[in-house]
Amino acid sequence: MGHSELAAIFGVAASSSAQRAFPFLTVLVLLPAGAAFLLLLVPKSVTTAVRSIGIVTTLAVLALSAVVFGEFHSGVGGLQMTSVHPWVAPLGISWSLGVDGISLFLVVMSALLFPIALLGTGERENEKSFTVWLLLLESACLGSFLSTDVLVFFLFFEATLVPAYFIIAGWGHERRGYAATKFFVYTFVASAMLLVGIIALVFIHKSQTGVTTFSVSALANTHLSSMAGMLLLLSFTIAFVVKAPVFPFHTWSPDAYAEAPASGSIVLAGIMAKLGTYGIVRFDLALFPHAVVVIAPLLMVLGVIGIIYGGIVAAAQRDLKRLVAYSSLAHMGFIVLGAFALTSESVSGAVLQMVNHGIYTAALFLLIAMIYKRTGTFQIGPLRGLQHRAPLLAGTFTVVVMASIGVPGLNGFVGEFLILAGTFITHRWYAVVATGGIVIAAIYMLWGYQQVFHSPESEAPPEGAFPEMTWSERAVIAPLIVIIVFLGVWPAPILSRITPTVDNLVNHVVQVGHANVPAPGLPAITTQALQGGSGQ
């Protein structure tokens, strides 16, 4: 049942790439970690060497991800550039990596955001340990997105916590200790559920086939009773919804995003949040299609609540970073809504939106960091009339705000549109309520912008107290702005690589899970009716 779809999802897509001599993905994952260990040998005092190694490594990873993008065959749904090496053979654990339409752009986006997080946030104390942690975090994130072995995925997924914890606790703001511990404990507890689920799934699979394996493609063939499937789905999902976060599991995130240093906020909101939504699309949908169909309405309700509630709470924030944190809650709501609406349009939109959100949220945190560097505050109250002093910074901020509220022509629109249009087909009223979110987004974002940038000149910081963006700041933010515009004007090359994988996945869920949704590629109206109507 559904075996050919599974082959399409997990199978090796291009036979040539399977035999490729150079293991791009393995190098991609291990390069930052290797550089981190190399850094340990460098004396702490040689800051320039430390910085250079960090920058060169993250840029090399970026270049390598560009190569992966170039080598990626568009129009192919399955995993590409796979490398599989038995690791702990008796337990069926293998080092197996692969990239497909769902993970490709998350990898590229991560590779882009790490050098920006490193470069864009200025000098800091104890540069060496910071760089070590950040590089380890990059390896863990890339490993999570690329692993096709559930246990290796879990290890990477968990491994992200440690560097993230130390980055928040070590380089954060006033309440960093509290925020870091809350973040760690909350997400760790949730991840424990994931481990329980993984081990249970593997044992069930073994009892049926006699084979111990952690391979996603093999585990997807496990026959699960509806109760077992439901429990396993919940155990996986709890880890993912906490990580994303999804309402009501979000209360660690405003603290963590606000207290983390700028680089930490960029990685937390831009990349690590996507580990949760990625997990939903990659594992929930593929492994438990029956249970997904049953539980989808619950998660869509949480998504829609997140959109509306996140927006309402964002409107009452008095701290720029917390405002962005709650707006992220709303955006994550859109992604979860799209993922569980289970149409090709909505799931493609959700995957695209993960990338889009990463880009504009990173840009927002970068710009907020520039304001903090000049004023020493994130509070909206004391910040007034900044546009008088730094029009370019204000203009850039405006572009990012417009992207985040989904103005067409910038990158936030297409993902949101696909999510809502796709959701509307199968779950009309969820889409209707969620569309209200675009009004709320305009309210809190424009309010925040007005408070901080628009005011009489007399209330602005004195001349010279708030300098314009420096050239290095411009250089760091420029790539993000270019991508925001590019993905808004021409997302087709991205979507053409995402949709084949998503179509296979949605077909799999629809056929196996007996979901009541139209198959992709077929219009909802009958062909006969069409012919009748085209005569006029």
Q: Interface residues for other proteins in 496-535 (CB under 8 A)? A: 496, 498-499, 502-503, 520-525, 529-530, 532-535
Show the binding pattern over residues 451-470: x = contacts other proteins (CB under 8 A), - = does not.
--xxxxx-------------
Q: Which residues pair with 85 in a beta bridge?
A: 95
**Of residues 224-253, those binding other proteins (CB under 8 A):** 228, 231, 235, 248, 250-252
Residue 536 near other proteins by CB under 8 A: yes
Q: Which residues pair with 95 in a beta bridge?
A: 85
Count of positions on this chain that bind other proteins (CB under 8 A): 92
Of 209, 203, 78, give the one whose Cα is nearest residue 151.
203
Of 206, 230, 336, give the one whose Cα is nearest residue 287.
230
**Of residues 265-304, those binding other proteins (CB under 8 A):** none
Residue 129 near other proteins by CB under 8 A: no
CB 38 within 8 A of CB 460: no
CA pair distance 139, 162, nearest whole angstrom? 12
Residue 22 near other proteins by CB under 8 A: no
**Of residues 411-450, those binding other proteins (CB under 8 A):** 413-414, 417-418, 420-422, 424-425, 428, 431-432, 435-436, 438-439, 442-443, 446-447, 450
Of 195, 200, 128, give the one whose Cα is nearest residue 161.
195
Residue 183 CB neighbour total at 10 angstroms: 25
CA pair distance 289, 6, nearest whole angstrom? 12
Cβ-based nearer residue to other proteins, 64 or 445? 445
* Shortest separation between residue 348's beta carbon and other proteins, angstroms: 4
Cβ-based nearer residue to other proteins, 3 or 428? 428
Strand pairing category for 80-88 and 93-99: antiparallel
Helix (H, G, I), strand (E, B) or coil at 95: strand
CB 453 within 8 A of CB 387: yes
Residue 204 near other proteins by CB under 8 A: yes
**Of residues 159-178, those binding other proteins (CB under 8 A):** 165
Size of the chain, expressed as the number of residues it contains = 536
Among 45, 174, 492, 516, binds other proteins (CB under 8 A): 492
Show the binding pattern over residues 370-399: x = contacts other proteins (CB under 8 A), - = does not.
---------------x-xx---------x-
Cβ-based nearer residue to other proteins, 64 or 481? 481
* Shortest separation between residue 517's beta carbon and other proteins, angstroms: 10
Cβ-based nearer residue to other proteins, 172 or 349? 349
Among 207, 210, 462, 464, binds other proteins (CB under 8 A): 207
Chain-centroid distance, C-alpha 37: 27
Sorted by sequence, the CB contacts under 8 Å of residue 376 that are 6+ apart come out as none
